[in-house]
Structure 1
Amino acid sequence: MKFTRMGFLLIFFPEEHHHHQQHQQQSIPPKKSPNFTNTFQSSSNLLLGKAQSTISICLLLLFLTVLLFTLTTLPNTAPSAAGAASRRRLLLHHHQTVQTSSNLSHALQKMGALYRRGNKAMNDVVVAHVPEAVTSHVLKLFLRLFFRSSLAARSDLVLVFPARRLDFDDVVLHESDLFLKLLDRYAEEFNNTGAAAFDVGNFMKLNRKEKEIQEPIWGRRSFNYSGEPVDSNRPSYGSVVGFDVDELDPENSLSGFLDPVPMSLRRWAVYPMLLGRVKRNFKHILLIDVKEILLTGDPLGRFRSLSPESVLLKHISQPVSGKHGRRGPARPRQVHAGIVIGGAKGVRRLANEMLTVIVRAAMGQRKKKNPVTEAAVFNQLVGNGYFLKNVELVPASESALPELSQLGVGQLGVKSGLGNYSVVRRAEGGVQLCQCQLSPWMAHSQITAADLTFS
């Protein structure tokens, strides 16, 4: 049975027919079912989509990581203030370099430089701005005159620079050190004899009216001043600090209205910030131009009994005769913007209004194309009663500001000195001081015109 079954199989599956079928199968490609093809394509598309999604997510995470890192390393400023932020970073680096070189500490709220910390809190402050053209010699002359005046015994001195300079730091530190040596030397003589070659009485008599010493606001706070009794034998003197305009006005507020912004105009944008931070510490303020004005006395003396809103301005002296010896036509009296004297409230209000008028004049300049000068804007402010309605302008019969070149040696004499004038103005036209013969070790207590020489 087994052999017969094998023969039956050989009859129904011949060899030629078998090879023919194999040949047909090899020549005709096998057909795949539609269901298998669709399934394979769907799987491939699904894997490709997942791969693309994974790559996109990775790229997005990488981009967000880089963006977050960039934002955390940059200062938190608006895009429009990118330039100001860059200037602040450079300025901070410059301040750190300057303070490290001069071994100076910060004056106020991590800003400024503390050249000398006074031994008591003062009620008055002198804010002296240093224009761009001021040299080390002019700054030295201003400091020596200030330290010799009685104003140094009653006020702090704040210097505002266009930019901090190492040579200016050296001048301020050197003159402050000389002044302290001068004060210590003659204070001992004053305590022993009641008089001294150098007049230190103003630095001594203030102590006799006080009971406790108040700590200055500049520099780091200390506990040494808490309830410390006043030593009547020790002279009193104020602090000397310095700022530059980029510290107090980092955004350069007037840059959108003027280009460039000179120091004479930008300082009015600095005053609201500076005076606003110390408004509770001082009762009287003096704004002064280091280049144009010289201090020879205490112009704040008469304001210590007036209201905090009072302000005194100085008029510029005018020539008496015309071209042929006759009196020229009457012109409105011009006030000098380099000197502002008054109570703390009045000076702050005037400074705020001056900044507003500068912006108004700068906006009008775009149409009229007239230059914006400090003298023109300041006189426009003073002549408009509406702007200064909250300021009490003090009328003064002798408010003219004399020029130093007009005060000759023969006219004054050696004994009269400059004691009759608390402030004087340098000559019109930029007269240069060639040598400063005013030595802090001079035995004369009064300053004479012969002490200053001109080129």
Structure 2
Amino acid sequence: MGSLYRRGTRAMNDLIVAHVIESVTEIELKMFLRLLHRSGITSKSDILFVFSSKSSSFNHAIIEENKSFLKLINGYYKYNKEEKKKNYNSSSDPTRFMNSSFDPTQFVISSKKEKESGEPIWGKKIRVYEDFGNSTELTLTRLSYGSVVGFDMGELDPENSLSGFLDHVPMSLRRWACYPMVLGRVRRNYKHVLLVDVKEHLVLGDSLSQLKNRSPESVILTTLPTRKKNLDKKPVNSGFVFGGVRGVRRLANAMLTEIVRAITQHKKRNLVSESTLFNQLVSNEFVLKNVNLIVSGESTHELSSLTGLMNSNSKLGSSSFSISKFPIVRRGNSNLDISYVFRKYLCSTPLDSIAYSDC
């Protein structure tokens, strides 16, 4: 059942569930995964892709990106090890990594912490060792990264729960029938979960860090930018949801019930909007009384606004662009070539060119 694209090094606390709708292209999926890896979030998270149908067409792309990323972090560590030996008794900082926008230290784990962690639930543990130091002082560290797996909706929702209500069930609706099954199975394995739409979003940072002191019932939602000034509340973004596993699972169950209720009451069933239903659900405090819902006051950044800042930064002569303030970016109505937009960010050093053939 499912496909294992990469085995992780240990049991992770967080899970990223990324759904891939029918119109996602291979290039879009590769860019999503590449940026996800570069964000550092996969140092503590497993990734689970949910596909609308058989995912064999994407297998090669996912495996290629995983191999390239492992080649990248191994390359950085070899460089770092050489720099540490050269500068062991000097005051220079060997963690600059050639002024790169990527910091691989996020993927380091101590041998003690690695021993304390359990086996990953997806496949057998892979052990990766790196030796830092010299003959007089030895520190054994290990690289830490999560597993990457994929499932088709038919595997997670074999009965196609909504088929009795609709002639054609779009993935935007059916995915909510998949989440209860997935999260029910792994509820004891993970603390936090992120649900994200691959087509609409790019993960550039670690949003899950916001959950550190939150309860398991907490769910954080972002809002969407709107040009309508007379709205009392901004619409929430149903394509990017994160929180404790318990809270997200309860939200998914409530959303599935809301979908069934709306379909049975709507005269034109095929016109039911997932986004509209989600916003109606979020506004219903009674239905979600067992969920600690937190709606962020800041709207999800659009890709067009980020590219404007990147261009301005380039004019100032900076060699790299920090995107730490943009943990999530939404494509919106932009027709920009994403691979072109992020080429400078992703190909900032010679090591990047070695790892990625398109740099």
TM-score by structure 2 length?
A: 0.82
Give 3-state SS (helix, strand or coil) of 1:254's partner: coil
Question: Any gaps of 5 or more consecutive residues in structure 2?
Answer: 85-93, 128-138, 353-359
Structure 2 Cα separation of the partners of residues 208 and 346 of structure 1: 31
**C-alpha deviations, 1:264-303, integer Å up to 9, x for none?**
1100000011111111100000000000010000000110
Structure 1 Cα separation of the partners of residues 166 and 295 of structure 2: 33
- Indicate how the Cα distance of structure 1 residues 384 and 411 shifts in structure 2: closer, same or farther if over 3 A, else same: farther
- Indicate how the Cα distance of structure 1 residues 207 and 419 shifts in structure 2: closer, same or farther if over 3 A, else same: farther
The structure that has the greater radius of gyration is 1
One of 362, 365, 370 as aligned partner of 2:266: 365
Partner of 1:263: 171
1:114 aligns with 2:4: yes
Partner of 2:207: 299
User: In the alignment, residue 349 of structure 2 is paired with which amino acid?
Assistant: A
1:443 aligns with 2:349: yes
User: In the alignment, residue 443 of structure 1 is paired with which amino acid?
Assistant: T
- Indicate how the Cα distance of structure 1 residues 216 and 332 shifts in structure 2: closer, same or farther if over 3 A, else same: same
1:268–1:355 Cα contact (<8 Å) kept: yes
Cα offset, 1:402, TM superposition: 1.0
Question: Any gaps of 5 or more consecutive residues in structure 1?
Answer: 1-110, 226-230, 323-327, 447-455
- Indicate how the Cα distance of structure 1 residues 272 and 199 shifts in structure 2: closer, same or farther if over 3 A, else same: same
2:16–2:195 Cα contact (<8 Å) kept: yes
- Indicate how the Cα distance of structure 1 residues 404 and 379 shifts in structure 2: closer, same or farther if over 3 A, else same: same
Question: What percent identity do the matched residue pairs reach?
Answer: 47
One of 313, 323, 326 as aligned partner of 1:418: 323
Give 3-state SS (helix, strand or coil) of 1:396's partner: strand
- Indicate how the Cα distance of structure 1 residues 421 and 161 shifts in structure 2: closer, same or farther if over 3 A, else same: same
Structure 1 Cα separation of the partners of residues 313 and 215 of structure 2: 34
Superposed CA RMSD? 2.5
1:204–1:234 Cα contact (<8 Å) kept: yes
One of 427, 431, 434 as aligned partner of 2:332: 427
User: In the alignment, residue 394 of structure 1 is paired with which amino acid?
Assistant: I
Larger deviation, residues 345-354 vs 209-218: 209-218
One of 301, 307, 325 as aligned partner of 1:402: 301
Query: Residues 335-350 of structure 1: matches in 2 within 5 Å?
Result: 335-350=236-251
Cα offset, 1:115, TM superposition: 0.3
Q: How many residues align?
A: 319
- Indicate how the Cα distance of structure 1 residues 369 and 112 shifts in structure 2: closer, same or farther if over 3 A, else same: closer
Structure 2 Cα separation of the partners of residues 204 and 262 of structure 1: 40
1:157–1:240 Cα contact (<8 Å) kept: yes
**Stretches of 4+ aligned residues off by more than 6 angstroms:** none
Structure 2 Cα separation of the partners of residues 201 and 284 of structure 1: 22
Partner of 1:246: 154
2:224–2:234 Cα contact (<8 Å) kept: yes
Structure 1 Cα separation of the partners of residues 159 and 255 of structure 2: 18
**C-alpha deviations, 1:184-226, integer Å up to 9, x for none?**
111233344241244111101565645434210012x57x99x
User: In the alignment, residue 431 of structure 1 is paired with which amino acid?
Assistant: N
One of 64, 70, 85 as aligned partner of 1:174: 64
Partner of 1:212: 116
1 or 2, which has the higher helix percentage?
1
Structure 1 Cα separation of the partners of residues 177 and 50 of structure 2: 12
- Indicate how the Cα distance of structure 1 residues 255 and 266 shifts in structure 2: closer, same or farther if over 3 A, else same: same
Cα offset, 1:431, TM superposition: 2.5
1:296–1:424 Cα contact (<8 Å) kept: yes
1 or 2, which has the higher strand percentage?
2
